[in-house]
Amino acid sequence: MKLQAFDKTPLIGSEIKTDIDTLLSGAESEAIRELLEQRGVIYFRGLDINDNQQVAFAKTIGNTVETEGENGIYKVSLDQGINARAKYLQGSLFWHVDGSLQPYPNYAALLRALKLSDSGGDTEFCNTYAAYDALPEQEKREIENLRVVHSAERSQYYVTPEMSYDEVCFWQKSPTKSCPLVWTHASGRKSLLVGATADYVEGYTVEKSRALLAKMRDWCTQPEFVYRHKWKLGDLLIWSNTGTMHRALPYSSSSGRLLHRTILAGEEPLN
């Protein structure tokens, strides 16, 4: 069986129908990479594979699997008993790009649903290529050379708005990173890069910077650029981390919600 892709919205998100053997064979890995690039998010409904199959499939997509978690599987949970970094993971409730502070942000990530929350816990993604393309030409020119400083500290204010001095000092130990607002990729396509780590626009006043970053996030997250995934058990979803932002919709830390994540290492430098 080959792949069949069904677009879920005009600009982002496709469901793929195929069987496990086809995926694990790697025969369709080029088609999957192409779909990821074009559609930002692809998913397999109720594929119901196991951890080893998830990692094996990730490897067929042609990148290095990051060694986070155990054997390439990281438990995404807000329950401290399941994930010691649960507090930090609360940042996932706000629009972000994974690894925006790294020299090579992740290429893509896979999430598989093992346990769902009774309420909340959908995941939203927005297509930041499509958002850039849709900007008025005048605005594209205004922002084309802007640079934004990203910091771990900034993203922590979403989780802990009133951080103590010690907390601020702790997060300030993480190095900040200057990134282009408009990311020009190896393919020549351009995407917008904002999200929870976006701290300030270089050379702008505080007010002007805050306003532009909010405007850009609002722009990227307009309904036409967003795909919302309503999880079903066994779903396997992959997102292109260089061409989208994502966030989890609120859910209770005691809901038991558990996703298994596998990360594909970045291929494109962000500088």
Residues that bind ligand OGA in the complex, under the rule CB under 6 A = 76, 92, 98, 123, 246, 248, 259, 261
Binder of Mn ion out of 66, 98, 153, 235 (CB under 5 A): 98
- How far apart are CB 153 and ligand OGA at their closest, in Å? 19
As measured in angstroms, the least distance from the Cβ of 12 to Mn ion is 16
Question: Are 126 and 148 spatial neighbours (Cβ–Cβ below 8 Å)?
Answer: no
**SS (HEC) of 153-176:** HHHHHHHCCCCCHHHHHHHHCCCC
Q: Which stretch binds Mn ion (CB under 5 A): 14-22, 28-36, 87-95, 143-151?
A: 87-95
Q: Which listed range, 28-36, 88-96, 183-191, 236-244, lies at the site for Mn ion (CB under 5 A)?
A: 88-96
Q: Which is nearer to ligand OGA, 26 or 69 (CB)?
A: 69
* Shortest distance (Å) from residue 261 CB to ligand OGA: 5
From the list ligand OGA, Mn ion, none, pick the one residue 261 interacts with, judged by a Cβ distance below 5 to 8 Å according to partner type: ligand OGA
**Of ligand OGA, Mn ion, none, which one does residue 66 interact with (CB within 5 to 8 Å by kind)?**
none
Nearest-angstrom CA–CA distance, 235 and 83: 21
Q: Which DSSP symbol is given to 66?
A: P
Nearer to ligand OGA, 248 or 264 (CB): 248
Give dist(CA 260, CA 7) in Å, integer.
24
CB-nearest residue to ligand OGA: 248
The two beta strands, 147-150 and 177-180, are: antiparallel
Residue matched to tokens 């850009």: 216
Task: Enumerate the H helices of the chain as residue ranges.
Answer: 20-25, 29-39, 51-60, 86-89, 128-133, 137-143, 152-159, 165-172, 206-220
Kindly state the smallest distance separating residue 259's Cβ from Mn ion, in Å: 10
